[in-house]
Amino acid sequence: MTVSAETAPALDELRARASALDAADPLAARRERFVLPDGTVYLDGNSLGALPAAVPAALADAVHRQWGTGLIRSWNEHQWWQAPLRVGDAIGGLLGAAPGQTVAGDSTSVQLFNALTGAARSRPGRRLLLTDPGHFPTDQYIADSVARLVGLEVHRIAADGLPRFLAERGDDVAVAGYSPVDYRTGELHDMAAITCAVQEAGGLMLWDLCHAAGALPVRLDELGVDLAVGCGYKFLSGGPGAPAFTYIARRHQAAFDQPLTGWNGHADPFGLSGDYTPAPGVERARIGTPSILSLLALEAALTAFEGTSMEQIRAKSLSLTGFFIDCADTLLDGLGFTVVTPREPHRRGSQVALRHPDAYPLVRALAARGVIGDMRAPDLLRFGVNALYVSYDDMLTAVRHLREAVTHEEHRDPRFRQRAAVT
């Protein structure tokens, strides 16, 4: 890559910092637990995690031996039946949730529907369902649908407006559904304060952890969170369409009345009764027969976290995103970019978002250079950072390519302006 004379010393300094930070990184060797193509800088693990090296063999075993040879016997012999709870507990371990409160299966959208409806039913007489106007679309759509079904009113209140709203109408709030991390800007909200405020008003707190699970410590039990959901394919790297999860705090389980009363959640599923009696514990959050192949892929993927802690992952993630912002400040100055992710570490999730009017063609031009991020309409370039496999050198390389792409006006290339089905 070419560098202008004035950026050369700054670039040398950034290069030296990247190599010192990589050399001192206690998680550096974790990258070997992932299969990443050579010459690719992968910064979209907040949308689809990279392939963990343990997954192909686990899937081959699940298909050939467990399914092919074991046939239906594998439901018992390979504990397929217990997989949603086993994988749920493994995820719970990354969320600060003691065993017996987390179940894996279905999609986040389905789990949200189930959890929100169950929460609303547990607060009869209260008429309001709160959600974030900036929440991921599926969360808003499902909030609207649940409200229609249960007879609630949805109020879209931004996280920073919650204290005021709760002070005025808190005693009418049944449930609040929020994400700790804004999926566009990467802003991190104060989970403890929001949970506390909603509960003090008498409502239930449901967190959508799609952008937090596997990215930062969330301490569900310690914060006394009521319910949580999240997906398996982002920072948990469980594969495209990986099973999602639901957390139901133990104190709510016995009364939890979920709408999707599938037979897997029955107290005696093989009694084949015509009447639904929910299982006593978190097993009731099971729905129908789960996708075993996907659960086993996710289970193998989670082994990439073994021997680390979420605190350690968080420390590296913040250091990486901080370094990315430094690189952007130095190398992208005057080129039309704005860093929209908060600079204060405690207000930042595990991504950096940059605003630029040509975000889409720039993301495409970057991909052609081997740097994979994504675009969120209308004008954000989003770079997700999974500290298990991303390096400081990746951060600098990405920003250098972005500088090159924009200075060479690659984003004007009509090839990159054509929208693909998935952006």
Report the catalytic residues.
Answer: 136, 208, 233-234, 382
Nearer to ligand PLP, 183 or 324 (CB): 183
Is 102 near ligand PLP (CB under 6 A)?
Answer: no
User: Using CB under 6 A as the criterion, what x/- string covers residues 216-235 for binding ligand PLP?
Assistant: ---------------x----
Considering only residues 138 to 177 of the shown chain, the ones binding ligand PLP according to CB under 6 A are 138-139
Cβ count within 10 A of residue 314: 16
DSSP state of 143: H
Considering only residues 327 to 356 of the shown chain, the ones binding ligand PLP according to CB under 6 A are none
Minimum separation from the CB atom of position 298 to ligand PLP (A): 13
Is 122 near ligand PLP (CB under 6 A)?
Answer: no
Q: How far is CA 282 from CA 41, 96, 120, 267, in A?
A: 39, 16, 18, 11
Give the span between the Cα atoms of 129 and 153, in whole angstroms: 6
* DSSP strand pairing (338-339 vs 351-355): antiparallel
* Binding residues with ligand PLP: total (CB under 6 A): 13
Minimum separation from the CB atom of position 145 to ligand PLP (A): 13
User: Using CB under 6 A as the criterion, what x/- string covers residues 236-275 for binding ligand PLP?
Assistant: --------x-------------------------------
Backbone dihedral region of 96: left (phi > 0), alpha (psi from -120 to 50 degrees) or beta?
A: left
User: Using CB under 6 A as the criterion, what x/- string covers residues 183-222 for binding ligand PLP?
Assistant: x------------------------x-xx-----------
Nearer to ligand PLP, 139 or 187 (CB): 139
Q: Is residue 152 a contact partner of residue 200, using CB atoms and an 8 Å limit?
A: no
∠ CA 269-274-277, rounded to 5°: 55
Give the span between the Cα atoms of 398 and 41, in whole angstroms: 7
Coil/strand/helix, residue 406: helix
Residues in touch with ligand PLP (CB under 6 A): 107-109, 136, 138-139, 179, 183, 208, 210-211, 231, 244
